[in-house]
Structure 1
Amino acid sequence: MTPSARLSAAIEVLADIEARRRPAPDALKDWGLAHRFAGSKDRAAIASLVYDALRRRASAAHVMGEAGPRAVLLGALALGRGMDVEAIAGLCTGERFAPEPLTAEERRRLAALDLSGAPPAVAGDFPDWLADDLAAAFGDRLVPEMAALAERAPIDIRVNTLKTERMRLLPELAHLGPELTPHAPTGLRFGHGEDGRGPTLQVTPEFLKGLFEIQDEGSQLVAALTGAGPDMQVVDLCAGGGGKTLELAALMDNSGQIYATDADARRLAPIHDRLARAGVRNVQVRTPKGRGDEPLADLAGKIDLVVVDAPCTGIGTWRRNPDTKWRVRPGALDERMKDQDLVLDRAAKLVKKGGRIAYITCSVIPRENDQRVAAFLKGNRDFTAVDPREVLALAPDTLSERDDLVTPAGLGLQLSPLRTRTDGFYCAVLERSR
């Protein structure tokens, strides 16, 4: 497919997403099934165009003066990819499979790219109903913080220290162009090509041998902030597919015991193969047998550390999942907050005196973060919040004195693309004092 044909295809997919209000991956999959002539590079390039348009949907519609799929994609090419008017016009010729030529008005708007006077939700490309929540998190940094969350994310991996070391793995992956992550001591970072594709890391011999896992640097950092160490008794309460479980095992050097579970037994399915590939030997997977079953009942009051990677809106991952930002609704936020309160109460029953809960979300809004911690502390007088600066001392030297990462309420730490060049992650640590 020509670049122009890919542009037309992306407009078609965006129209399908808009008309049927469906997730982008579903629309892209259906388009690929209906156009089997398109190769893997074509499909990847089209997906990249679609996701870049969704990242910039609000600002692109604003500068173009309309919100249709064509206008949003054209505006995103200018805002997100820095293409000038003539470069975009060269793709829109109206010839075989190419979009129709630019109108005079489209040319004028693409040349001006005027965002002056745009409200924060437009300039920062986020749903306007979240404006108050996000302003509470970021204050006068709201627009630059959210603009950073609209950028394309790199691909990060965590080197599995149970099997190798970062500087030993680095030359083995040199042909893929890795860089050291800015902060995480066991991370490597990979960029994207012009078509938006990164390296296919899951098929490398090194991945298949369990030498690394694909994991955003922010996720790596908050796992380290939990304070997990050798010989501890640890529960990963929302383990899912096991990403943080694997890192906890490495931090504990395969000693002690980790109990991994999840309220949704289906989410645990991938964890067994991942543990085996990584060479992890200190994990028990506790799968619930049915609704209401508590597979950790025998551990009440015995645990040193409960890691709560809480269910949340995922706002902090919008760089990787840009279509979800336009599909999240206030009702979903309310449900996630209820889930967060429930899982914190469940964690409290497991912790022994002097033990800790590490509460983590991939969100950036206080209602899912500091406010949930505050509500928990109000109802659980046996717990106190560990000073975030004490928690931060566990971070690499590049972050360990970054007071700007402490949240306004002073209960936790907030990572974000603008501040730390990671996804948006929150972490607070709570200690049982009696």
Structure 2
Amino acid sequence: ALRRKRSAGWLFGEETPRAIGFGALLLEWGQTARSLNDALDGDKFAPPLLSAAELKAAASGRLADAPDAVRADVPDWCAPLLEHAYGDDWVEEGAALAMRPPLDLRVNALQADRGKVLAELQGTGAAPAAIAPHGIRIPPINGDGRHPNVQAEPAFQKGWFEVQDEGSQLAAALAGAEPGMQVLDYCAGSWGKTLALSASMDNRGQVFAHDAEKVRLAPIFERIRRAHSRNIQVVSKPAELAPLTGHMDLVLIDAPCTGSGTWRRRPDAKWRLTDRQLDARKGEQQAILDMAQAFVKPGGLLVYITCSVFDAENGEQVAAFRERHGDFAPVDHRQLWDGRFPGHEGAARIGEAGGISLSPALSGTDGFYFHALRRAA
């Protein structure tokens, strides 16, 4: 119901729990007004049947006349931010962020290949992902269905795959970690990209994984063990990072952000987000960029990633960083994308000043932003 809160409320002319609940059943679950009333009729614990006015509203399906923000199912204050990011496509992208997501998996190349994992997941609807070379997708579910509990599968317990959105997989692949590199994952967070970097490097070189919130470090040790990753070093204290200054081939920042690109998975988040929270995140991102850049060696790469669709956290943040640090310049992102994922040239937006944006309507992924900057040699 939270996915379609605004459009469901508009359909019935009010944002009440009843209107939103019934609207979601009509818009998302494929119910009709008649099937709803049939289900409610005679059940003493059910809410009252749809009234004549509600039946008329349900039959009208009048969303075509709704304001753009309603059709996009976003708060009014977010509408200009989406329009700035997506132009004429913003309503379509907003609506796509309100849809149910697929379940995406990343095959751990250290332990298995995609064919092997697909064979283990027969009967789940699993198929190769559209773009990510190690990706597997289980389609979105309908109604009251649930995705299979893939983490109970023996293949998961053996470390053959991880749960990771395809957009996150693509961002990690674009970073270009190679065997023998010295890599710092500065905001390791949920560790999905840390493990992906380790696999890309075939357990050769070093991935230093750090996060300012120590409580987030705990799960990584079990995940490292299960993935059979041997080149990850967990760095919990900021002081332990000092010897890495100026020596990293690649520094990856998976920055804390509003998470607006993940609204498909966390529909409650878009109704709780405020402009003050956005401003707070922007301040954090600026500070992190300024700290992390010190670890990039001459000629090395600084990669900035968010799961936000707001340019204030993405291109604008990178532009401001470049004004403060003139020794960093963007790589050719068109060449980077086309080289990594040939045949998928139209599946991402490439910014005029660099940067790659992924989105649910265009890319079929969560919303992600990727920007790679090379330090002058």
TM-score range, shorter-chain basis? Answer: over 0.9
Q: Which residue matches 1:83?
A: 31
Instruction: Output the TM-score relative to the length of structure 1.
Output: 0.84
Write the letter of the residue equivalent to 2:123.
Answer: H
Residue 126 of structure 1 pairs with residue 74 of structure 2: yes
Shift of 1:73: 1.0
Q: Which residue matches 1:368?
A: 313
1:102 alignment partner, one of 50, 54, 57: 50
Residue 232 of structure 1 pairs with residue 208 of structure 2: no
Please state whether the residue corresponding to 2:300 is helix, strand or coil. Answer: strand
Query: 1:35-63, CA deviations, whole angstroms, 9 ceiling, x for partnerless residues?
Result: xxxxxxxxxxxxxxxxxx10000011111
**Conserved? CA contact 1:224–1:394, under 8 Å:** no
Unaligned runs of 5+ in 2: none
Q: Which residue matches 1:181?
A: 129
Please list, as runs of the form range in 1=range in 2, the aligned pairs for 1:38-53 lying within 5 A after superposition. Answer: 53=1
Shift of 1:194: 4.1
Pick which of 371-380 and 79-88 moved more.
Answer: 79-88
Pick which of 71-80 and 422-431 moved more.
Answer: 71-80
Residue 244 of structure 1 pairs with residue 244 of structure 2: no
Shift of 1:117: 3.1
Aligned length: 376
Q: Which residue matches 2:253?
A: 308
1:280 alignment partner, one of 198, 214, 229: 229
Please list, as runs of the form range in 1=range in 2, the aligned pairs for 1:56-67 lying within 5 A after superposition. Answer: 56-67=4-15
Q: Which residue matches 1:359?
A: 304
Instruction: Output the TM-score relative to the length of structure 2.
Output: 0.97
1:405 alignment partner, one of 349, 354, 357: 349
Query: 1:352-379, CA deviations, whole angstroms, 9 ceiling, x for partnerless residues?
Result: 0100011000011110000000000000
Please list, as runs of the form range in 1=range in 2, the aligned pairs for 1:101-250 lying within 5 A after superposition. Answer: 101-191=49-139, 192=141, 194-250=143-199
Shift of 1:207: 0.7
Taking the aligned partners of 1:241 and 1:335, their CA distance within structure 2 comes to 21
Shift of 1:190: 1.2
Runs of 4+ in 1 over 6 A off after TM superposition: none
Query: 1:131-186, CA deviations, whole angstroms, 9 ceiling, x for partnerless residues?
Result: 11111101111111111111000101001110010011111110222111111111
Taking the aligned partners of 2:65 and 2:97, their CA distance within structure 1 comes to 21
Write the letter of the residue equivalent to 1:245.
Answer: T
Query: 1:373-432, CA deviations, whole angstroms, 9 ceiling, x for partnerless residues?
Result: 000000001111112113213432232x3385113x432111011011110010000110
User: Structure 1 vs Structure 2: percent identity of aligned residues?
Assistant: 48
Taking the aligned partners of 1:273 and 1:237, their CA distance within structure 2 comes to 20
Q: Which residue matches 1:41?
A: none
Taking the aligned partners of 1:299 and 1:404, their CA distance within structure 2 comes to 33
Q: Which residue matches 1:296?
A: 241
Unaligned runs of 5+ in 1: 1-52
Taking the aligned partners of 1:196 and 1:143, their CA distance within structure 2 comes to 27
Taking the aligned partners of 2:44 and 2:226, their CA distance within structure 1 comes to 49
Residue 381 of structure 1 pairs with residue 351 of structure 2: no
